[in-house]
Amino acid sequence: MTDITELLFDPATADEPHDAYRQIRSECPVARVEGLTGEPTVYVSRYADVMWALRHPEVFSSGPGAVEIGQDQPLIPLQVDPPDHAKYRRMLDPEFSPKKMAALEPHVRALASEMIDRFVDRGACNFHEDFATPFPSAVFLRLMGLPQSDLATFLQWRDDTIRPDTNDIDEATRIRAEAGHAIAMYFESALEDRRANPDDGLLSRLAHAEVEGRPLTKDESLGVCHLLLLAGLDTVTATLDCMVAHLARNPDRRRQIVDDPELVPAAVEELLRWETPVAMVIRVVAQDTTFAGVDVKAGDGCAAMIGAADGDDTEFDRADEVDFTREANRHLAFGAGPHRCLGSHLARMELHVALEELHRRIPDYRIADGAEIHHSPGIRQADHLPLTWSPAS
């Protein structure tokens, strides 16, 4: 049988994952094998099975045992399953509603244009460093009401948590724990300050938030802030890397959105499906069961492979084709079920704005000659993305 763990975490798979996804869907769509940590892990790759797993947290739990990344408290609402999960979503969903994101869009568009101003006349940039990283991070800081001067510290905490610079598991655990403790200390102080000195940022509203008629506890507040930091500073960066690298390599598709900017929203959805930057989401099996003919045990890890599911031809017509006019596109890039991404409306708005402004200002770009672009596994962020173009374009 295919060694799923080795295949999935092969650097070549992170760069070009679709051959691996096809192989896994075909040969072992649901498999219980030894995971990265040596413990049993259930890998789920077909669309229908991934959708079922995401919609049934009573079997595939997102609770604290699913992901340990050095946090001092559960990440809220990610690591709280129903029914308690609903009370936190009721509190947080209005903060990320389409209406609020529409109100934020003019600022986001101005920010994108300002960042492009810094390199448009150079005829070259490292898109990952010059735009994909600072753009969503600056939006996050603006949304939260935090100083832009803290960005470098936040990015270091993000990297120490999601991709610590070591291949040693014990060392990675130590780095994550240090980062998690530092994040908790930062937000504990910041929340205390906002309680005394409220402003119009989301952090201030969290400092005064209530759930079911009572104030959030310290751990609840810190759990929300920790999750928002990681999500706000990482996933859109990875998505922009994947999308712009794809468009640089496929000038015919880039030309489609240059010629018809109204196609950008559909292009975003199709590139979310095809690239699926967050390749998998992690769960833990909550009860012994037989799933798709495979016996799984309580305590097993689970990797719901949404990247593989998004290429499943039993769900998507012409699944191996990238089609910006695709009508039915129920991709799973934002997950599904009760834990569907809290910030999906914010992410979509940022991606729409970024692609619209980039292609309005720089319609014809390519990857620099000789550049090799590599992505991290799990969350497919590029190590760099050097682009070139004619300044007159």
* Each residue's pLDDT tens digit, 78-97: 999 999 999 999 999 999 99
**What's the distance, Cα to Cα, between the start and end of the chain in Å?**
51
Once rounded to an integer, what is the mean pLDDT over residues 126-141?
A: 95
Tell me, yes or no, if 293 is annotated catalytic: no
- Compute the distance between CA of residue 362 and CA of residue 326 in angstroms, rounded to an integer: 25
State pLDDT tens for residues 283-338.
Answer: 999 999 999 999 999 999 999 999 999 999 999 999 999 999 998 899 999 999 99
325 is known as an active-site residue? no
Q: Which residues pair with 210 in a beta bridge?
A: 215
Distance separating alpha carbons of residues 363 and 28, to the nearest angstrom:
42
Q: Please state which of the four CATH numbers 1.10.3430.10, 1.25.40.10, 1.10.630.10, 1.10.10.10 is assigned to the domain occupying 4-388.
A: 1.10.630.10
Selecting among 235, 237, 239, 276, the annotated active-site residue is 235
Verify cis geometry, omega within 30 degrees of 0, for the bond prior to 77. yes
Cβ 224 vs Cβ 92: under 8 Å:
yes
Question: Does 332 qualify as catalytic in the annotation?
Answer: no
Mean pLDDT for the chain overall: 94
Distance CA 216, CA 285 (A): 29
Whether 95 and 206 have beta carbons less than 8 Å apart is answered as: no
Q: What is the DSSP string of 237-271?
A: HHHHHHHHHHHHH-HHHHHHHHH-GGGHHHHHHHH
Based on the residue annotation, tell me whether 216 is a catalytic residue of this protein: no
In single-letter form, the type of residue at position 290 comes to: T
Q: What is the pLDDT of residue 167?
A: 84
**Percent of all residues in the chain with a pLDDT value above 70, rounded to a whole number:** 99
Tell me what percent of the residues of the chain surpass a pLDDT of 90.
Answer: 86
The pLDDT score that the predictor gives to residue 393 is 45
Q: Which amino acid is at 186?
A: Y
Residue tagged active-site, from 109, 163, 174, 366: 163
Whether residue 10 has pLDDT greater than 50: yes
Comparing CA positions, the residue from 360, 358, 361 lying closest to residue 385 is 358
Catalytic pick among 332, 341, 351, 385: 341
Buried b (16+ CB within 10 A) or exposed e, 182-211: ebbebbeebbeebeeeeeebbbbbbbebeb
Which residues does residue 44 pair with via DSSP β-bridges, in sequence order? 30, 304
The pLDDT value given to residue 1: 52
Q: What are phi and psi of 30, to 5 degrees?
A: -130, 120
Element (H, E) at 352: helix 344-361
Model confidence at 392, in pLDDT bands (50, 70, 90)?
A: low
The number of C-alpha atoms within 13 Å of 12 and in the hemisphere containing its C-beta is 4
Provide Rg for the chain, Cα atoms: 21
Classify 112 as helix, strand or coil: helix
> 303: which DSSP letter?
E
CA 348 to chain centre: 12
Catalytically annotated residue among 70, 301, 343, 378? 343
What SS3 class is residue 211?
strand
254-258, 343-347, 364-368, 389-393: the lowest-pLDDT one: 389-393
Give the pLDDT confidence of 167-198 residue by residue, as tens digits.
Answer: 888 899 999 999 999 999 999 999 999 999 99
Residue from 187, 166, 167, 209 nearest 71 by CA: 187
Whether 342 is catalytic is yes
Catalytic annotation, pick one of 146, 342, 346, 385: 342
Q: Which residue has the tokens 């005829």?
A: 123
343 is catalytic: yes
